[in-house]
A = this chain, B = another copy of it.
Amino acid sequence: MKLGRLNHIGVATPSIEESIRYYRDVMGATSFHKPFDLEAQGVKVCFVDTPGENGTNGTQIELIEPLGPDSPIAKFLEKNPAGGQHHVCYEVEDTEDARKWFEDMGKRILGPTRIGAHGTPIFFLHPKDMMGQLTEIMETPKSGAHWSN
């Protein structure tokens, strides 16, 4: 498998509204996508763009807020009430191949491959098998285009 783009870093937050103000007013971000609910994953999501080199798209920030007390990120926020870095997401050409690659290495995959926030297949790997990082693997959108909303 070949390492692809760092598509986004997942940042847990108690409030996407507050995070948007933070990234706009404190960090100087200018490009925000429309927040939406990813009910299957129990989170509200909002992507913030960061610039890449030479006018390309950079790694995005994926803000995730729990949709309720049973959200998979509720426990993370109990430990980190202000929010914080939650996961990293790397692109691959083919998630089916990648899934087999990691399985053959005995890496624990968290649940089935599903359609992620960018509309392509994704899966997550257990942080204990990934040097402490909850790792999302995402198929590069076929158009080569950046996700937009």
A interface residue numbers (CB < 8 A to B): 1-6, 9, 11-13, 18-19, 22-23, 26-30, 50-54, 56-59, 61, 80, 82-85, 88, 90, 102, 105, 107, 127-128, 130-133, 146
9 chain-A/chain-B pairs, Cβ below 8 angstroms: A3-B29, A5-B53, A9-B88, A11-B133, A26-B107, A58-B58, A82-B127, A83-B133, A85-B132
Other-chain contact of A59, B59, B80, B131 (Cβ < 8 Å): B59
| CA–CA, A114 and B10, complex, Å | 28
Residue of A1, A54, A105 with most partner-chain B CB within 10 A: A54
- Complex: chain B residue closest to A22, CB-CB: B131
